[in-house]
Each structure stands twice: as C-alpha cells, then as structure tokens.
Amino acid sequence: MARINENFLKLQAGYLFPEIGRRVKAFCAANPEADVIKMGIGDVTQPLPSAIIKAMHTAVDEMASSETFRGYGPEQGYGFLREAIAKNDYQQFGIQVDADEIFVSDGSKCDGGNILDIFGDDNRIAVLDPVYPVYVDTNVMAGHTGPADDNGRYEKLVYMAVTAENNFEPELPSEPVDIIYLCYPNNPTGVVATHAMLSKWVEYAEKNNSIILYDAAYAAFVSDPEIPRSIFEIPGARKVAIEMRSFSKNAGFTGIRCAFTVVPKELMGSTKSGEQHAIHTLWNRRHCTKFNGVSYPVQRGAEAAYSEEGKAQINELIDFYMNNAKLLREGLTAMGFEVFGGENAPYVWIKTPAETTSWEFFDHLLEKCHIVGTPGSGFGAAGEGYFRLSAFNSLENTEAALKRIQDSVSAGIQ
Ligand SMILES: *Cc1c(COP(=O)(O)O)cnc(C)c1O
C-alpha cells in the first residue's frame, strides 16, 4: 500500500478557520434572522481598481489574436513586471533590488511553503507567537518539527512570544537559529517593526549565519515614513534576507493571484560540510522546475498596479481600509478596550476584557453582537487573551459593528 507523509498527522486537527466556520454556521442555523458581520478572515472586500481591470481586459484580447497570442511565459515572470516591481517598490526608494532577483508567483502563501524545498531538514527554525499559521504548518508537513504539545506548540520550533508585556517586540532567541520568519506589518497583531528592531535582526542573522524570511504582504499599509516597508532598507540585509510580497492585500488580488519573492544574489546557504551555495540559484531551479509562471493577463494586471492611475487607485483603496482601521482603533479604545495595531496595518489586536479567553470572547461577540472575529489563541499560545478584528470590510459594516459592540458594552455584558 502507498505510504503517506506521516508528518501531516502531526497537524492540529481543529484548524482555526474551519472551527470559526463551524461555530458561525451553527449560530446562523439557530438564528437565521441574525445579520452577521464578518470581521474574521483577512480577505479584501473592495473590487479591483479600474486601471487593473482595463489592463487585464486588454491582455485577454491579445490572447484572442494570433499576432499577439502568448503561450508559456518565463517561469520567473515577464520582464515588464519584474522591472516595474524593482523600480517602483525598491529602486525609487534607493533600495538595491534588481529585476532578476524578483520571482513572480501565484501567491505569498505558496512561496512561503515552497521555499522550504531549498532548505535542509536540520535547521533550527524560529517563529513569532502568535504567528501566521502557514509558516508553522508548512514546516510540520516538511518534517521539520516533532509533535505538538498541549498548547499546540511543536517540538523543535523556537517560539518567540509577542505580547503587550514585551511591547510586541520579540526577544532574540537564546539559542542560535538558522531560519527566522518575520512578518511586518504583522498579521495577526497589526504591529509594525521599527528600523532599529529590524537592524537588530539583521545583525543577529549576520552573526549566526541565519536567513530571515521576511513577509511584507502588508507593506503598502505603512504610511509612517519612519517605518520600513522592506527588510532591504536595512544595511546588510541583502546578505541575510528573502522578502515576500503580494498583490493580494494592496491591490485586491486575493482572487486573482499574484505575488513575488525577492532573493538577493549575495544570499548564501551552506552544505553540511560547509560549502557555500547561492540561494538565488537554488530558488531559480526550484521555481523553474515546479512552476510554469503566472498567467499573462494577471501579470499585466499587476503591472498596471504601478501605472500612475493604478497607484492612485491603490492608494485610495488603502486609505479606505485604513479609515476602517482607525475607526476600529479609536472606537474600541474609547469603549475601554486595550487596542494594539491598526495604525500602519489593516488589523487591530485587542486584549479580551475581564480575563475572558479568546474563544469565550469569540462566542460572546458572535452571540451578543453578531460579529465574527478571530480568536488570538488560534494564532498561537501567546495569542490567548487577544482577539483580531479586520479592517477589510465596508464602512457601513465597520460602523455597524462598532455600534453593536458599544451597545453591548453599555448594557454591561462586556
Ligand atoms: C494575506 C497574507 C499573505 C498573502 O498571501 P497570498 O497567497 O499572496 O494571497 C501573505 N502573508 C500573510 C501574513 C498574509 O496575511
């Protein structure tokens, strides 16, 4: 009989979003008249900017004519898109990233999992806690961990707790680690990393020969000029970091699918015997062997995100979501909640009131306010006692949700 990858059996059964879905479904079945506002899953809600739609339409029409039809494109992405990314996201800010260091893909989630193909099995891996679950689960699947303990923490992973107590600033690991996942602006906490904080990590990585996997999916939500958008703003980062970005959250591509990973040519990894190899070469080989490129119309759509019109429309989208974030942050703070994030990120992270657990607060919000959020404990043990609300919603829903929470607080059932 065919053998399975038994690492999959180590994965936690009640995965966060299915469990939320189950509870919401049960609630709606019992209360069919309830108008439930979903502020849980981190998906965008607004339609694509018209500049992007126009570019994709044109590209689809090109496919209809034998003169302009295109088949397979370069696996790494078309030059027009790689150059637009290098220029607009990096070079214009004085950050050195060349077009051939950019690998266009169908999503950062996929890149985050796929990148493990090029790393060995015996690396020490560090993640924040709470954490975007993809980093952990893909390492479990790849066999890089032992089983999970009662808190859901996997043996062999190094967890760096980020809570209000340490001001959401992870401490450097006390034992040397080889691979470090960082995500800023952060999902789920909505906090950002300062230049000083990232410099500390780059220094750590230089000293320990580690590699930082930097997830910058929310870079576009940073409006404070003092807050870095890219790890490559930090001197020395080209020797220690890979950066992943996506068009999902800024340009609304969650259903269109386009992202990219930046692998600097200086970045090296080592064999067991200490021989150095360029990560860029390995990733290029992996990408070309297992991936056949993002569809042409989608890459033209992504390119249009960098046109003058596209940039203006994306800024409007971001302002729209960040206004929701501001309303949530200010509204909840005024109601007496302890609120974090939501200033350069589309998530607010609130301390659950009166010692309630994350799941108790989830049930309370669902039953009393008909609002779905995300329990912090679903992102890791250190997320217990916290709760995530997303700014990806309509203004009407955001305002209605705040009013319902206010009414519930006023009624004293907070
Ligand atoms: C949404 C999100 C992404 C983007 O994933 P895609 O596969 O590109 O849609 C990546 N990282 C984090 C932390 C996210 O929240």
Which CATH number goes with the domain that contains 351? 3.90.1150.10
Report CA(181)–ligand 1 centroid distance (Å): 14
For 312-340, the DSSP string reads HHHHHHHHHHHHHHHHHHHHHHHTT--EE
Q: Report the residue among 45, 114, 138, 248 best suited for mutation to probe ligand 1: largest number of ligand atoms under 8 A from its CB.
A: 248
Check pocket membership of 132 for ligand 1, CB cut-off 6 A.
Answer: yes
Nearest to 261 by CA among 242, 233, 276: 242
pTM: predicted TM-score of the whole model, two decimal places? 0.97
Cα 241 → chain centroid: 16
- Ligand 1 within 6 A of 138 CB? no
Looking at the fold, whether 90 and 209 belong to one and the same domain comes out as: yes
Q: Identify the H or E element spanning 117.
A: none
Same domain, 155 and 212: yes
Q: Is the pLDDT of residue 412 over 70?
A: yes
Under the banding of pLDDT at 50, 70 and 90, the label for residue 304 is very high
The token duo for 284 is 């290029």
Give pLDDT, residue 410.
Answer: 86
The stretch 282-292 carries a mean pLDDT of: 98
Same domain, 40 and 72: no
End-to-end CA distance of the chain: 55
Statement to judge: residues 346 and 297 lie in one domain: no
Token readout for 271 is 């064999």
Q: Is residue 1 part of a domain?
A: no
- Give domain status of residue 166, yes or no: yes
Q: State whether 38 and 107 are in the same domain.
A: no
Rounded to the nearest integer, the mean pLDDT of the chain is 96
Condensed to tens digits (0 to 9), the pLDDT of residues 348-399 reads 999 999 889 999 999 999 999 999 999 999 999 999 999 999 999 999 999 9
State residue 81's pLDDT score. Answer: 98
DSSP designation for 368: I
Q: Is residue 5 part of a domain?
A: no
- Exposure of 137 in the CB half-sphere (CA atoms within 13 A): 17
Last residue of a domain, one of 262, 280, 308: 308
Reported confidence tier of residue 207, pLDDT bands at 50, 70, 90? very high
Please tell me the predicted confidence (pLDDT) of residue 332.
Answer: 98
Whether 2 is covered by a domain: the verdict is no
C-beta of 364 in contact with ligand 1 (< 6 A): no
Backbone angles phi, psi at 262, to 5 degrees: -105, 120
Whether 56 and 113 share a structural domain: yes
Q: Which of 287, 308, 329 is the last residue of a domain?
A: 308
Partner residues linked to 260 by β-bridges: 104, 245
Domain count, the chain: 2
Same domain, 182 and 290: yes
Which residue, 274, 308, 342, sits at the end of a domain? 308
Residue of 381, 375, 387, 388 whose CA lies nearest to 130: 381
Is 68 inside any structural domain?
A: yes
Helix axes 50-62, 296-304, angle to 10 degrees: 150
Q: Residue 12 pLDDT more than 90?
A: no
Torsion of CA 43, 93, 280, 196, to 10 degrees: -80
Nearest atom of ligand 1 to the alpha carbon of 110 = 7
Ligand 1 atom closest to the CA of 186, numbered from 1: 13
367/270 same-domain check? no
Nearest CA to ligand 1 atom 2: 217
With a 6 A CB cut-off, is 42 part of the ligand 1 pocket?
yes
Closest ligand 1 atom to the C-alpha of 249?
A: 1
Do 388 and 399 fall within a single domain?
yes
Closest ligand 1 atom to Cα of 108: 8
Euclidean distance between CA atoms 391 and 377, whole angstroms: 20
Average of per-residue pLDDT across 142-170: 96
Question: Nearest-CA neighbor of 254 among 108, 356, 409, 129?
Answer: 108
The yes-or-no verdict on residue 414 having pLDDT over 90 is no
Count CA atoms within 13 Å of residue 411 on its CB side. 9
* Alpha carbon distances (Å) from 46 to 198, 295, 313, 317: 32, 22, 12, 8
Tokens in use for 291? 């991936």
The identity of residue 187, as a single letter, is N
What pLDDT, on the 0 to 100 scale, is given for residue 379?
95
Do 215 and 314 fall into the same domain?
Answer: no
Q: Is 109 in the pocket of ligand 1 (CB under 6 A)?
A: yes
Given this model, what pLDDT does residue 413 score? 53
| pLDDT above 70 coverage of the chain, percent | 99
User: With left for phi above 0 and alpha for psi between -120 and 50, is residue 54 left, alpha or beta?
Assistant: alpha
What mean pLDDT is predicted for residues 130-146? 96
Q: How confident is the model at residue 9 (pLDDT cuts 50, 70, 90)?
A: very high
Element (H, E) at 371: strand 371-372
pLDDT at 42: 84
- Tokens 């980093």 sit on residue: 135
CATH of residue 86 = 3.40.640.10
Q: Residue 14: its pLDDT value, please? A: 60
Looking at the predicted structure, is the pLDDT value of residue 59 above 90?
Answer: yes
Which pLDDT does position 165 carry in this prediction?
Answer: 97
- Tell me, yes or no, whether 230 and 335 share the same domain: no
Mean pLDDT of 50-57: 98
| Host domain of residue 27 | 10-47+310-410
The β-bridge partners of 351 are 386
Tokens of 327: 């309303």
The reported pLDDT for the residue numbered 18 is 85
For residue 24, is it within any domain? yes
Query: Has residue 3 been placed in a domain?
Result: no
CA geometry: angle 330, 331, 333, nearest 5 deg:
65
* Shared domain check, 186 and 226: yes
Q: How far apart are CA 314 and CA 320, in angstroms?
A: 10
| 32 within a domain of the structure (yes/no) | yes
